[in-house]
Amino acid sequence: MSNHDIPRLLDFADAMADAARAAILPYFRATHRITNKDAARFDPVTDADEAAERAMRAMISAEFPDHSVLGEEYGGELASEGYQWILDPIDGTRAFISGLPTWGVLIGLYYEGRPLIGVMDQPYLDERYRGWMGGANATARGVTRKLRTRACDSFRDATLSTTDPYLFHDASEATAFEHVRRKAKLTRYGCDCYAYSMLASGFIDCVIENGLKPFDIAALIPIVTGAGGGVCAWDGGDASAGGRVLAYGDARLRDAALAALRI
């Protein structure tokens, strides 16, 4: 598969997303176990997170036993060789346990450490967003359409999003984000991976976040870039390992954002 059989890989990612849906939906807005993974702060994991990742890992082991896996719940290390599936069974677990439909299943595939394909699935809304080298599409309630970011050359006209303003832990990060927020026409919070899908769909123009892990961003990079946008670090470099992340729909907005975020 050195030539990257993209249709086959996307079909397999779709099959994993279907399996994750089946594992997760019985728990959404229903009684389930919630465990805190971090003694220092509230970092929840649920039965649904664990069941979905187990289902996807089992499929990878059966179909692609030579591919490595990095998942939020069952670990792994970011690889620089070969194919690696990077899984976040529920991105937005806090939204999930609050009954909000802004969470999603994230399935990314890297090759030699570089993003190759990505899928974001929102089971409750029956929406699925896919990205690959050179394209992106979305399927909602059985209808598939091409994804395309919108033109936006200034923050005067831009909709900005971040999951939580408290992602910016130190004063310099908070000040940098505030520089951008003041310039933007509109800022929306709390959307997790759904914000990136709305960026790829042409409804949001910029997403700025901090402290991301590889599994938070791996699936989203191909979706945003396939739709004509981009994802980079705050210094303009590579964001495929997470950290401080800027996603944008229009390259002209990228330059303005990077200037405002310079700390």
Radius of gyration over every alpha carbon of the chain, rounded to an integer in angstroms: 17
Which pLDDT score, from 0 to 100, does residue 133 have? 86
157 pLDDT band, cuts 50/70/90, is: very high
Task: Please answer whether residues 200 and 207 qualify as being in contact, where contact means their C-beta atoms are separated by less than 8 angstroms.
Answer: no
- Identify the bridge partners of residue 135 per DSSP, sorted by sequence position: 132
Burial 80-91 (b: 16+ CB within 10 A, else e): eeebbbbbbbbb
For range 77-81, the mean pLDDT? 91
CA distance 201 to 28: 25
257 pLDDT band, cuts 50/70/90, is: very high
In terms of Cα–Cα distance, which of 217, 117, 219 is closest to 163? 217
Burial 27-55 (b: 16+ CB within 10 A, else e): bbeeebeeeeeeeeeeeebbbbbbbbbbb
Task: Please answer whether residues 109 and 13 qualify as being in contact, where contact means their C-beta atoms are separated by less than 8 angstroms.
Answer: yes
Which pLDDT score, from 0 to 100, does residue 167 have? 84
In terms of Cα–Cα distance, which of 181, 179, 216 is closest to 196? 216
Which pLDDT score, from 0 to 100, does residue 113 have? 95
For range 129-156, the mean pLDDT? 94
CA distance 175 to 182: 11
Checking DSSP bridges between strand 68-71 and strand 243-248, what pairing results, if any?
Answer: unpaired
For range 121-130, the mean pLDDT? 98
Instruction: Kindly tell me if the per-residue pLDDT of 33 is higher than 90.
Output: no
Burial of 128 (0-12, 13-18, 19+ CB in 10 A): buried
Domains and CATH numbers, the chain: 6-146 (3.30.540.10), 155-261 (3.40.190.80)
For range 168-197, the mean pLDDT? 93
Checking DSSP bridges between strand 114-122 and strand 104-111, what pairing results, if any?
Answer: antiparallel
Kindly tell me the number of DSSP H helices and DSSP E strands found in the chain: 8, 14
For residue range 195-237, what is the model confidence (pLDDT) as tens digits? Answer: 999 999 999 999 999 999 999 999 999 999 999 999 999 999 9
Q: What is the DSSP string of 6-28?
A: HHHHHHHHHHHHHHHHHHHGGGT
What stretches of 44-156 adopt beta strand conformation (E)? Answer: 44-46, 68-71, 83-91, 104-111, 114-122, 127-132, 135-140, 143-146
Task: Please answer whether residues 72 and 53 qualify as being in contact, where contact means their C-beta atoms are separated by less than 8 angstroms.
Answer: yes
Instruction: Kindly tell me if the per-residue pLDDT of 129 is higher than 90.
Output: yes
Average pLDDT taken over every residue of the chain: 94
What H or E segment, with its residue span, contains residue 58? helix 47-63
Which pLDDT score, from 0 to 100, does residue 1 have? 44
127 pLDDT band, cuts 50/70/90, is: very high
What H or E segment, with its residue span, contains residue 177? helix 171-183
Which pLDDT score, from 0 to 100, does residue 39 have? 65
Which pLDDT score, from 0 to 100, does residue 3 have? 84
Instruction: Kindly tell me if the per-residue pLDDT of 73 is higher than 60.
Output: yes
CA distance 162 to 244: 12
Q: What is the DSSP string of 185-205?
A: SEEEE--THHHHHHHHTTS--
Instruction: Kindly tell me if the per-residue pLDDT of 84 is higher than 50.
Output: yes
31 pLDDT band, cuts 50/70/90, is: confident
- Identify the bridge partners of residue 104 per DSSP, sorted by sequence position: 91
Residue percentage of the chain with pLDDT more than 70: 96
For range 129-157, the mean pLDDT? 94
